[in-house]
């Protein structure tokens, strides 16, 4: 009897592992979001749908909008079938945020890659295109309006920081832009690493300076070899807003530092920011 029970348990474990292995990146990401207490929904942007993750809660004057990195644009030299991020760092950061917050997925990410008008260019060469930026801005403006929020704080990690800098000026309610390890000069970043050119994307470094009234903080790890300080400083930003954290690299340290970063943002924005 014990042998049968043990074999049954082993079979169940094996089936569970197999199911996990077969799950798509979008499925795995959604499972992690659910485990952190976030609810999933979809909102229209400007031309694209966007998957959201957030906690249910009461509207507030300020909405924190989280944008994630590029995920997996390429796989084995070809456009990935599902570019959804494989890591949940940004979800973990948002879980530490007591303010009303929402994770806004990019067009075609989180299981939407096969829905019109999606095409692989939108997560490869056009990942920071005007169409992508405008749709994120449109979705965010709608979210803020529906939540009764008068102010939007953008918080972007890696390529999400790139998009935050590009999208914030397009949303009238924007009051702050916070980036972490963000490639703010994509041409310099591509040249540094020999990456494929982003031929259909906007380069933040070639855009107008962020509006003077926006509170800005741009964090970069002193040990970050993927997005070094020089790439961040080339962006259309206030150079005095750059904060170099000596012992951090591209993805370490940030979770431990996040409460202090949020407190700095709250003081900089004022009110319930």
Domain count, the chain: 1
The pLDDT confidence band at residue 98, using thresholds 50, 70 and 90, is very high
The pLDDT confidence band at residue 60, using thresholds 50, 70 and 90, is confident
Q: Is the pLDDT of residue 11 over 80?
A: no
pTM, rounded to two decimals: 0.91
Model pLDDT, residue 119: 98
71 assigned to some structural domain: yes
Report whether 146 contacts 123 (CB < 8 A). Answer: no
Instruction: List C-alpha distances in Å: 198 to 67, 123, 126, 232.
Output: 19, 10, 6, 17
| Beta-strand pair 151-157/62-67 | parallel
Distance CA 81, CA 74 (A): 9
Model pLDDT, residue 3: 44
Alpha helices by DSSP H, listed for 43-183, are 89-95, 130-147, 159-167
Instruction: Phi first, then psi: give them for residue 239, nearest 5 degrees.
Output: -60, -25
Q: Can you give the CATH number for the domain in which 262 is found? A: 3.40.50.1820
4 assigned to some structural domain: no
12 assigned to some structural domain: no
pLDDT tens sequence across 202-237 = 999 999 999 999 999 999 999 999 999 999 999 999
Q: What is the DSSP letter of 117?
A: T
CB neighbour list of residue 116: distance below 8 Å, 6 or more residues apart: none
Residue written as token pair 């009897």: 1
9 assigned to some structural domain: no
* Whole-number percent of the chain with pLDDT over 90: 88
Coil/strand/helix, residue 126: coil
Model pLDDT, residue 2: 44
**Start-to-end CA span in the chain (Å):** 60
213 assigned to some structural domain: yes
Q: What is the DSSP letter of 253?
A: S
Distance CA 141, CA 249 (A): 32
| Beta-strand pair 62-67/74-75 | unpaired
Alpha helices by DSSP H, listed for the chain, are 2-22, 25-35, 89-95, 130-147, 159-167, 186-193, 229-233, 254-269
Model pLDDT, residue 21: 54
* Whole-number percent of the chain with pLDDT over 70: 92
15 assigned to some structural domain: no
Instruction: Phi first, then psi: give them for residue 211, nearest 5 degrees.
Output: -55, 140
Report whether 117 contacts 34 (CB < 8 A). Answer: no
**Cα dihedral sign for 106, 234, 242, 209?**
negative
Closest CA to 83 of 94, 69, 73: 73
Structural domain harbouring 35 = 25-269
Of 4-8, 55-59, 201-205, the one with minimum mean pLDDT is 4-8
Distance CA 87, CA 77 (A): 20
6 assigned to some structural domain: no
11 assigned to some structural domain: no
């Amino acid at each position: 009897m014990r042998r049968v029970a043990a074999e049954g348990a082993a079979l169940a474990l094996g089936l569970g592992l197999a199911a996990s292995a077969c799950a798509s990146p979008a499925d795995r990401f959604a499972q992690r979001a659910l485990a952190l207490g976030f609810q999933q929904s979809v909102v229209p942007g400007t031309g694209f749908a966007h998957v959201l993750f957030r906690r249910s809660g009461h509207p507030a004057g300020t909405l924190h909008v989280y944008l994630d990195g590029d995920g997996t644009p390429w796989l084995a030299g070809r456009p990935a079938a599902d570019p959804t991020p494989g890591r949940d760092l940004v979800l973990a950061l948002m879980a530490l945020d007591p303010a009303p917050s929402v994770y806004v997925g990019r067009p075609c990410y989180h299981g939407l890659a096969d829905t019109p008008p999606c095409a692989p260019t939108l997560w490869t060469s056009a990942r920071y295109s005007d169409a992508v930026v405008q749709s994120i801005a449109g979705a965010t403006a709608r979210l803020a309006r529906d939540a009764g929020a008068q102010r939007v704080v953008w918080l972007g990690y890696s390529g999400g920081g790139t998009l935050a800098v590009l999208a914030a000026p397009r949303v009238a309610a924007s009051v702050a832009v916070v980036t972490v390890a963000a490639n703010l000069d994509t041409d310099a970043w591509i040249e540094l690493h020999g990456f494929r050119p982003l031929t259909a994307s906007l380069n933040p470094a070639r855009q107008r300076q962020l509006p003077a009234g926006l509170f800005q903080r741009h964090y970069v790890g002193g040990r970050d070899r993927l997005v070094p300080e020089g790439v961040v400083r080339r962006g259309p930003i206030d150079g005095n807003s750059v904060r170099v954290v000596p012992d951090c690299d591209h993805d370490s340290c940030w979770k431990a530092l996040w409460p202090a970063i949020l407190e700095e943002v709250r003081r900089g924005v004022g009110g319930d920011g």
